Amino acid sequence: MAALATKNRQTSTGRCTVKALLHWIARAAPLMLIALTLSVLAWFVAVESEDPTRTDRYPAPIPIVVSGLPDGVILLEASHDTVRADLRATASVWASLSPDDFSAVVDITGLGAGVHTVPVDVRLDKEPADILLVDPGTVTLRLEYNLERSVPVRVQIEGEPSLGYLRRSPTVVPADVTISGPSSEVNRVEVATVIVPVQGATTDVSASYPVRVQDAQGQVVPGVTVSPQRVDVNVPIELSGYYRFLAVKVAIEGQVAENHRITDITVDPPTITVFGTPDTIAALPGFIETEPISVAGATQDIVERPALILPANVTLVSGQKPVEVTVAVEPVQGSRTVDIPPTVQGLGPGLTATIPLDTVAVVLSGPLPILEALEPGDVRVVLDLFALPAGKHEIEPRVVLPRGLVAQSVFPAIIQVEIFVAITPTVVATDIE
């Protein structure tokens, strides 16, 4: 019984202790909550003072990325391609932000052709930071189905061939091209066109040309892809049976002056176009001859505009440049060897020089009239002794020639000249008784 009484007293004492503890907690709870709140506030104040929070708009635009575009659907138009974002972040986060930290995604998964307004999901890969506002929050998109079809290529000729020539029907390879793009634009296309200029052509025009797609009004349709982008076009150009190109044959009479020769005859233009009936044109030789040009006694070039000798029922096509003939005349070239006594120049005062030879052989080339008319003194061989002191010197002769002549060789090519100090004779006076 005594043990049972003791146990009951212990149980009663334990209950009183727990009850007292709970009572104390109940009384201290408001104070504990206040202390916790003050601690948290103190922590926030400390953090804010070291790294304050700032709310502002990020200055750079954020590009929008469209995801989930279905196969066969084209994004034709978007109301915006960038958005702006208002942020709340610490100063350290603001200092480290870059456009690459943001992503602005518009998800169009499952959407078909038409106009759709879709929200923009902007995310920031930085902490601590919150995105408060996205401007604009939605983007309007215009989606269309992609369409592909084949259209024929039409050749648009610009200009006309040269007078007397005809153009035939062009050929195009490939004859059709494939176009693709938004269905609304592809359906506008009526024809694919290449522009081929043939202005003034006298031969076939053949090249690769870019393809343009056009609507029924001839306007270029944008946003359409063409494959291939270029095609090969050949436009045959043929001479009409009523026209013919003929070479100009120059008729020369007389002889140029003695010791002269004709070196060249040029004709500008070298060909002319004539007109006549097909039979008459076909019977013509391949040239038209000029009236004779006299070169009698000529010593220089002759430039004339001679008349052309045209057969009956054949006329020159109007508007052509007059035929101008240039007959180039020049002296006959020859050579001649002459022996010339050398002369000295530039010898210093008080000096004299000896030359070991009397003449120098010079081989000349040039026009025969000049060579044959040479007189003594026309050709000189000079030894330049400027600033040379007394002693032996090897000198290269310098040849002075009339205009038009060339010294082909000089022999000897080097002359040894010895320079002496001149000796002044002394006069001795004598008494005469």
Task: For the beta carbon of residue 65, count every other beta carbon within 10 angstroms.
Answer: 13
Sequence letter at residue 253: E
* Separation of alpha carbons 372 and 405, rounded Å: 12
Provide CATH code, domain 145-239: 2.170.120.40
Q: What is the pLDDT of residue 25?
A: 67
Q: What is the DSSP letter of 370?
A: H
* Separation of alpha carbons 373 and 18, rounded Å: 151
* Separation of alpha carbons 35 and 38, rounded Å: 5
Condensed to tens digits (0 to 9), the pLDDT of residues 174-195 reads 999 999 999 889 999 999 999 9
Q: Is the pLDDT of residue 107 over 90?
A: yes
Which region among 25-29, 154-158, 218-222 has the lowest average model confidence (pLDDT)?
Answer: 25-29
The domains of the chain are located at 55-136, 145-239, 243-331, 334-421
Q: What is the pLDDT of residue 292?
A: 94
- One fold for both 145-239 and 243-331? yes
Q: How many residues does the chain have?
A: 433
Q: What is the pLDDT of residue 46?
A: 46
Q: What is the pLDDT of residue 5?
A: 46
* Separation of alpha carbons 264 and 419, rounded Å: 53
Condensed to tens digits (0 to 9), the pLDDT of residues 351-390 reads 999 988 889 999 999 998 889 889 988 999 999 999 899 9
Q: Is the pLDDT of residue 40 over 60?
A: no
For residues 233 and 209, is the Cβ–Cβ distance under 8 A?
A: yes
Question: Which of these, 134, 226, 223, lies nearest to 178 by C-alpha position?
Answer: 226
Higher pLDDT, 37 or 79: 79
pTM of the predicted structure, to 2 decimals: 0.49
Provide CATH code, domain 334-421: 2.170.120.30
Q: What is the pLDDT of residue 49?
A: 56
Alpha carbon 264 to its chain centroid, in Å, reads 40
For residues 203 and 237, is the Cβ–Cβ distance under 8 A?
A: yes
Q: Mean pLDDT in the chain?
A: 86
Q: What is the pLDDT of residue 88?
A: 92
Strand partners, 231: 209
Q: What is the pLDDT of residue 433?
A: 44
Q: What is the pLDDT of residue 317?
A: 84
For 318, 352, 415, 416, the CA distances from 388, given in Å and listed in that order, are 74, 11, 15, 13
* Separation of alpha carbons 374 and 337, rounded Å: 11
> How confident is residue 39, by pLDDT bands cut at 50, 70 and 90?
low
Q: What is the pLDDT of residue 405?
A: 93
Q: Is the peptide bond before 412 cis (omega within 30 degrees of 0)?
A: yes
Condensed to tens digits (0 to 9), the pLDDT of residues 126-184 reads 888 899 999 999 999 999 888 999 999 999 999 999 878 889 999 999 999 999 999 88
Non-local CB neighbours of 430 within 8 Å, separated by 6+ positions? none
Assigned CATH class of 55-136: mainly beta
Topology adopted by domain 243-331: RNA Polymerase Alpha Subunit; Chain A, domain 2 (2.170.120)
Condensed to tens digits (0 to 9), the pLDDT of residues 61-77 reads 999 999 998 888 888 88
For 34, 200, 317, 343, the CA distances from 350, given in Å and listed in that order, are 127, 80, 82, 18
The share of the chain scoring above pLDDT 70, in percent, equals 87
Question: Which of these, 187, 182, 189, lies nearest to 214 by C-alpha position?
Answer: 189
Q: Is the pLDDT of residue 392 over 70?
A: yes
Q: Is the pLDDT of residue 58 over 50?
A: yes
- Strands 252-253, 398-400: parallel, antiparallel or unpaired by DSSP? unpaired
Q: Is the peptide bond before 269 cis (omega within 30 degrees of 0)?
A: yes
Most confident of 42-56, 288-302, 306-320: 288-302
Q: What is the pLDDT of residue 230?
A: 96
Mean pLDDT of all residues in 383-412? 92
* Separation of alpha carbons 418 and 390, rounded Å: 7
Q: What is the pLDDT of residue 4?
A: 45
Q: Is the peptide bond before 228 cis (omega within 30 degrees of 0)?
A: yes
